[in-house]
Chain A
Amino acid sequence: EAQVTQNPRYLITVTGKKLTVTCSQNMNHEYMSWYRQDPGLGLRQIYYSMNVEVTDKGDVPEGYKVSRKEKRNFPLILESPSPNQTSLYFCASSLLAGTGYGEQYFGPGTRLTVT
């Protein structure tokens, strides 16, 4: 079954404690992306990757890191989480379809609370 998986689904942590949210896709997609969703703000892109070893900043990259060592995995790293990073996080992937992006497949989301 084609899918994007994220782990963990729920996480409560304390300020400053490094954490990693994993994302994996089984569709051989070139493009992967991380978003955060906050009430009233829709989805905002954090980082994206066009292929292995190619990553770029989205709209709100501050406080986050990513890596793309393998095509299927795109972990999101919070080196020193702060309460303003409390949010719902989504990973997504898609093929690069000629001009522009194709349909994005989204993971189920990770609800992060930083106290």
Chain B
Amino acid sequence: SQQGEEDPQALSIQEGENATMNCSYKTSINNLQWYRQNSGRGLVHLILIRSNEREKHSGRLRVTLDTSKKSSSLLITASRAADTASYFCATDARGNNDMRFGAGTRLTVKP
């Protein structure tokens, strides 16, 4: 079963706008990671946030983590057409060695 669930399933915006994707999970975690996947290709790591962190930035990416609500959000600012991809959150649960991915958010950025 999936640990993370992304919301929304699909998002379409204009270039220059911000995109926000959310991830909810079920159990206590060690880390939460966000990945990007261009159509049919391997996933690329974007950012990792540890359970004791609340916010992290990397370039145009901002990730927040709320462990009390078991949720995370990924914000992409000033989006570009090249940001068009699917975005996945992944968690490794505390006391468990496996990795769980959500079903992903499909982001389309229109030029």
Q: How far is the CA of A23 from the CA of B5 in the complex (A)?
A: 28
Q: In the complex, which residues of chain B have a beta carbon less than 8 angstroms from the beta carbon of A33? A: 99
The prevalent SS among residues of B at the interface is strand
Q: In the complex, which residues of chain A have a beta carbon less than 8 angstroms from the beta carbon of B103? A: 40-42
Option from B1, B43, B88, B97 in Cβ contact (under 8 Å) with A48: B97
Q: Check if B40 sits within 8 Å of A88, measured CB to CB.
A: yes
Known: A101-B31, A107-B42. A50 touches B101 (CB 8 A): no
A14 part of interface (Cβ distance < 8 Å): no
Option from B2, B31, B88 in Cβ contact (under 8 Å) with A100: B31
B50 part of interface (Cβ distance < 8 Å): yes
Q: A45-B99, A103-B48 are in contact. List 18 more A-B contacts (CB 8 A).
A: A40-B103, A41-B2, A42-B2, A42-B101, A42-B104, A44-B101, A45-B98, A48-B99, A56-B97, A59-B1, A59-B98, A90-B42, A103-B33, A103-B45, A104-B45, A108-B41, A109-B40, A109-B41
Q: Which residues of B contact A (CB under 8 A)?
A: 1-2, 29-31, 33, 35, 40-45, 48, 50, 88, 90, 92, 97-104
